Amino acid sequence: MSSFEVRHTDGGSAARQSVLTTSHGEVETPAFMPVGTAGAVKGITPQQLKESGAEIILANTYHLILRPGVDVVEKLGGLHKLMAWDRPILTDSGGYQVFSLSSLTKIDDDGVEFASHVDGAKIYLNAEIAIKIQNRLAADIIMCFDQCTPFPADPAQLKKAVERTIRWARCAKETHNNPNQLLFAIVQGGTDPELRTYCVSELVKVGFDGYAIGGLSVGEGHDNMIKTTTHTAQHLPEDKPRYLMGVGTPADIIAAVGAGIDMFDCVLPTRNGRNAFAFTEDGPLRLRNNAHISDAEPVESACDCYCCRNFSRASLRHFFNCGEMLGPILLSMHNLRFYQRLMAKIRLALKKGEFADWAAEESKKYESG
């Protein structure tokens, strides 16, 4: 059984605290999903993910098609078995990666043909194929195939992408045949409010289990992103989960929660962790800096992660500077825990009816980026 229940709202904003129930358990929202693109969160074990506080993770259809292939995943017992993860999983349709990573050789209203970034092989993907593959991967939440446009994009290009996204969403709804999976549609339209409103209205007519806002965090900047998110979210159904794709920084997340967003994913915690960048409540730390040569302090004294309980900044700097793989692993663990601690604080503020005031004060910590 699946359901979505809004339990707390905020008088000073559109924020809400909810519970999303899937076939592999409940997810408290607002929630952050660590990204396991090819079936694993880089350098992190499933047990460590659980210890970070993650209740749901994301994998990507595009990458899993290329390697190891849907047949292999299916023979292994589905994505949960491949990833050794017994909690909810969401799979992106692969639309963003097709348009951002691959060399497109053909695109029309029916689908796209692209060259694999692995071996150059020609692959065809459309709305029907993307859903059938995700049905077989057996994630708890799957996404409609969509066309993500770059920023900036001319009006004609945006309009055509929106029409295709709507057309493909209708096809996805007709194709979807796994009752254990929730199907989310994706709203496109760049930063054009009229196109966003139109896309929402057409997708809601079809009816989906949840709605994602796509096509943001592609260069439009924080203010444009939040303005577009706020506009789009207010037109989405109140009784369905709202997912802002590929976002983002702590400041992005706090502002987007205030706009009514329930779910987030982003590679920043692990990508930045692999590059010696730590998120903290006092601002970012760059652990390669000479200032940390003999720094005996943990990355963040208030953090309860394994990294902060056992290692100093000096230790981490040493690991990074000598190429020891433990450095990226430890800092990824800290960053993932930082994000989950942030989401827990957001949910607590909502439950206490204090989110608007809390967010105004908390956002000041991250104004400098």
- Write out the DSSP string of 119-164: T--EEEEEHHHHHHHHHHHT-SEEE----PPPSS--HHHHHHHHHH
Q: Answer yes or no: are the C-beta atoms of 300 and 366 closer than 8 Å.
A: no
Give the pairing of strands 31-33 and 263-265: parallel
pLDDT the model gives residue 107: 87
For the question of residue 108 being annotated catalytic, the response is: no
For the question of residue 92 being annotated catalytic, the response is: yes
| CATH superfamily placement of domain 3-266 | Queuine tRNA-ribosyltransferase-like (3.20.20.105)
Could you give the CA distance from residue 56 to residue 35 in angstroms, rounded to a whole number?
Answer: 10
Q: C-alpha 98: how far from its chain's center?
A: 17
Which residue's structure tokens are 């390697």?
Answer: 67
Q: What distance separates the 2 farthest-apart alpha carbons in the chain?
A: 61
Q: Point out the catalytic residue in the list 10, 92, 209, 252.
A: 92
Domains of the chain, by residue range, sit at 3-266, 273-333
Mean pLDDT of the chain: 95
pLDDT the model gives residue 117: 82
Residue partners of 14: CB distance under 8 A and separation at least 6: 230, 233, 234, 258, 259, 260
0.85 cut: is pTM over it?
A: yes
pLDDT the model gives residue 104: 67
pLDDT the model gives residue 72: 98
Point out the residues of the chain with pLDDT beneath 50.
none
| pLDDT digits 0-9 by tens, 159-202 | 999 999 999 999 999 999 999 999 999 999 999 999 999 999 99
Strand partners, 122: 115
Q: Point out the catalytic residue in the list 192, 209, 265, 295.
A: 265
| pLDDT digits 0-9 by tens, 68-109 | 999 999 999 999 999 999 999 999 998 887 777 767 668 899
| pLDDT digits 0-9 by tens, 122-132 | 989 999 999 99
Residue partners of 133: CB distance under 8 A and separation at least 6: 61, 65, 70
pLDDT the model gives residue 219: 93
Please give the share of the chain, as a percent, with pLDDT higher than 70.
Answer: 98
